[in-house]
Structure 1
Amino acid sequence: MTVKQPHAVLWDMDGTLIDSEPYWMAAETPLVESFGGTWDHEQALQLVGLGLHDAARVLQGAGVRMDVDAIVEHLTDDVLRQMGELGVPFRPGAQELLRELRAAGVKTALVTMSMHRMAAAIVELLEFDAFDLVLGGDDVPMPKPHPDPYLRAAELLDVDIAHTVAIEDSPNGLRAAVSSGAVSLGVPHFVGLDGVGAHELWPTLEGRGIADITALYSAHRS
């Protein structure tokens, strides 16, 4: 029997493609403290995988007296500033796997809840043509954990969502992938993904290639 490749692989960004969660946490803490509040690691973990507007509302609840859009813009600017100063830390194995997918002709999309301008800036830092599509949180009406971002990405790529693999590191992102109908791969980073419904959980992408993605897809779409 011929093992078929997925028609597309859909990637989350923060925590999956790049290790940006520490940058977001470093942006949140001084913002909350500037309004006299406190913000600890456990609170920051609650925002992992949330849409930025939902995260902004949580920060408002912690005392940040800014409107939601202003909070989103402030955090995005701060994270981009940090990356400009400290560099973009890619997750182990992510770039290597992307290169293999592209070489094999598999379509790829970046499906993130970060703003489109931030995602586009990160993609520009890659030294190869990594994605057919970049979809930001401001490109869809409903954020993760709703399935809309993944469904929209499949639509724009002109593929059936059932013939895609989605890679996620957070519970909310994984819920979006699962409910969309994609073959869902969880690669946990800051928070665990047990019981969220992934087709498979891998501890890392390091050492994984197109053959592993194809086997995952084949096992759950045969």
Structure 2
Amino acid sequence: MGKALPDSAEILVGRGVDLTPAQVVEHLVGVVNARVAEVGPDWRPGARELVADVAAAGVPQAIVTMSYRVQAELIASLLPPGAIHVVVAGDMVTRGKPDPEAYLTAADLLGVDITRCIAVEDSATGSAAAVASGAATVVVPHMLELPASERYARTETLLGLGLADLVALTGPLDAARERTGA
């Protein structure tokens, strides 16, 4: 979860999938896009509402994902118009998560200081990338358990959360970074 698609494809091929890594990626992208087109995305509870709240506050937002751009842009198109300003996807960077390149690229494209950004992540590789980038990070476990850490804030759900809640969750992280100079 959260790895670059070519990395995930290599793992699947290594476990016996009888396709090339490129064929695995093509298949995965096709299956996911067809499902989203047919039934819509499987939104995490509260995610769309949180994006709308942040957009209403005038805060620029990015989707940073290891899915491919075609998938990320499809998801962005299903969110409130103008909510997503930048998409940075796995096929747009040279190093996938847990490397921070995608987050740093998004901040650069948004024209913002990464240390003033809040990243919301649901995987170990994604949270490692967000933390390494310098963004305050909120982890919402999905499929795999993510333990508590002093490196990020953790919440079980986005349901009922707004921008003020994200700021409150990450406040202690900002204070710790100021104390340590990180």
> Above 0.5 in TM-score?
yes
- Does the 8 A contact of 2:138 with 2:170 survive in 1? no
Partner residue of 2:166 out of 210, 213, 216: 213
Q: Alignment partner for residue 172 of structure 1, among 125, 136, 147? A: 125
> Contact 2:121–2:138 at 8 Å: present in 1 too?
yes
1:96 aligns with 2:30: no
1:198 deviation in Å?
A: 4.0
Residue 84 of structure 1 and its aligned partner are, at CA, apart by: 2.2
Q: Tell me the matched-pair count.
A: 175
Q: Which residue of 1 aligns with 2:35?
A: 82
Residue 142 of structure 2 corresponds to residue 189 of structure 1: yes
Deviation at 1:145, TM superposition (A): 0.7
Report if the CA contact (8 A) 2:150-2:173 is conserved.
Answer: no
Higher RCO (CA 8 Å, separation ≥ 6 residues): 1
Please give the secondary structure, in 2, of the residue aligned with 1:204: coil
Match of 1:123 among 45, 61, 76: 76
Map 1:31-180 to 2 at 5 A. 48-180=1-133
User: Can you give the 5+ residue segments of structure 1 that lack an aligned partner in the other structure?
Assistant: 1-47
Aligned 1:10-29 pairs, distance under 5 A? none
Q: CA deviation at 1:65?
A: 3.3
Amino acid at match of 1:105: G
Q: Mark the runs of 5 or more structure 2 residues left unpaired by the alignment.
A: 176-182
Q: Secondary structure at the match of 2:75?
A: helix
For the aligned residue pairs, the C-alpha RMSD in angstroms reads: 1.5
Shift of 1:128: 2.6
Taking a change above 3 Å as real, the CA distance of residues 186 and 105 of structure 1, as seen in their structure-2 partners, is same
TM-score by length of 2: 0.90
Distance in 2 (CA, whole Å) between partners of 1:221 and 1:198 is 10
After superposition, the C-alpha distances for 1:148-206 in whole angstroms (9 at most, x for unaligned) are 11111111111111110010001111011111111011000111111555421011000
